[in-house]
Amino acid sequence: MPRPTRHPETIVLHAGWRADPATGAVAPPIYQTTSYQFESAEHAADLFALKAFGNIYTRIGNPTTAVLEERVAALEGGAAALALASGQAASAFALQNLARVGDNVVSSTDLYGGTWNLFANTLKDQGIEVRFADPADPESFARATDDRTRAYYAETLPNPKLTVFPIAEVAAIGRPLGIPLIMDNTAAPILCRPLEHGAAAVVYSSTKYLGGHGTSIGGLLVDGGSFDWEAHPVRQPLLNTPDPSYHGAVWSEAVKPLGPIAYAIRARVVLLRDLGASMSPFNAFQFLQGLETLPLRMARHCENTQAVTEFLKGRKEITKIIHPSVQAGENRARADRYLRGGHGGLVGFELAGGAEAGRRFINALELFYHVANIGDARSLAIHPASTTHSQLSEEEQFATGVTPGYVRLSVGLEHIDDILADLESALAAAG
Ligand code: PLP
Residue 318 backbone dihedrals phi, psi, to 5 degrees: -115, 130
DSSP notation for 109-162: S---HHHHHIIIIIHHHTT-EEEEE-TTSTHHHHHT--TTEEEEEEESS-TTT-
Q: Give the percent of the chain with pLDDT over 70.
A: 100
Alpha-carbon gap, residue 377 to 74, rounded angstroms: 23
Question: What's the chain's average pLDDT?
Answer: 95
Instruction: Name the β-bridge partners of 318.
Output: 351
Alpha-carbon gap, residue 203 to 87, rounded angstroms: 7
Buried b (16+ CB within 10 A) or exposed e, 43-72: ebebbeebeeeebeebbbbbbbbbbbbbbb
Q: Check pocket membership of 112 for ligand 1, CB cut-off 6 A.
A: yes
CATH 3.90.1150.10 residue ranges in the chain? 295-430
The answer on pLDDT for 159 being more than 90 is: no
Test site for ligand 1: of 118, 186, 376, 402, most ligand atoms within 8 A of the Cβ: 186
Q: Check pocket membership of 87 for ligand 1, CB cut-off 6 A.
A: yes
Per-residue model confidence as pLDDT tens digits over 15-52: 999 999 999 999 999 999 999 999 999 999 999 888 88
pLDDT for the residue 17 = 96
Identify the CA nearest to 152 among candidates 101, 197, 95.
95
Q: Name the residue at shortest CA distance from atom 13 of ligand 1.
A: 87
Residues 278 and 59: beta-carbon distance below 8 Å: yes
Q: What is the pTM of this model?
A: 0.96
The region of weakest confidence among 245-249, 350-354, 390-394 is 390-394
How wide is the angle at C-alpha 181 spanned by C-alphas 179 and 185, nearest 5°? 165
Alpha-carbon gap, residue 115 to 174, rounded angstroms: 21
pLDDT for the residue 431 = 84
Q: Check pocket membership of 219 for ligand 1, CB cut-off 6 A.
A: yes
Q: Check pocket membership of 422 for ligand 1, CB cut-off 6 A.
A: no
Identify the CA nearest to 225 among candidates 77, 331, 103.
77
pLDDT for the residue 76 = 98
DSSP state letter for 267: I
Q: Note the CATH architecture for domain 8-289.
A: 3-Layer(aba) Sandwich (3.40)
What length does the chain have? 431
Instruction: Name the β-bridge partners of 149.
Output: 104
Strands 149-155 and 104-108: parallel
Identify the CA nearest to 50 among candidates 243, 260, 246.
246
Give SS3 for 86. Answer: coil
Cα of 358 vs centre of ligand 1, distance in Å, is 23
Under the banding of pLDDT at 50, 70 and 90, the label for residue 388 is confident
Per-residue pLDDT averaged across 411-419, rounded?
98
Cα of 53 vs centre of ligand 1, distance in Å, is 31
Alpha-carbon gap, residue 263 to 394, rounded angstroms: 36
Cα of 219 vs centre of ligand 1, distance in Å, is 8
The number of the ligand 1 atom at minimal distance from the alpha carbon of 159 is 3
Q: Check pocket membership of 110 for ligand 1, CB cut-off 6 A.
A: no
As a 3-state breakdown, the chain gives helix, strand, coil percent values, each rounded to 5, of: 40, 15, 45
Per-residue model confidence as pLDDT tens digits over 107-139: 999 999 899 999 999 999 999 999 999 999 999
Per-residue pLDDT averaged across 271-300, rounded?
98
Q: Name the residue at shortest CA distance from atom 5 of ligand 1.
A: 112
CATH no. of 295-430: 3.90.1150.10
Alpha-carbon gap, residue 367 to 79, rounded angstroms: 41
Under the banding of pLDDT at 50, 70 and 90, the label for residue 273 is very high
The number of the ligand 1 atom at minimal distance from the alpha carbon of 217 is 15
The number of the ligand 1 atom at minimal distance from the alpha carbon of 89 is 16
pLDDT for the residue 209 = 98
CATH 3.40.640.10 residue ranges in the chain? 8-289
Q: Check pocket membership of 182 for ligand 1, CB cut-off 6 A.
A: no
Test site for ligand 1: of 109, 110, 115, 346, most ligand atoms within 8 A of the Cβ: 115
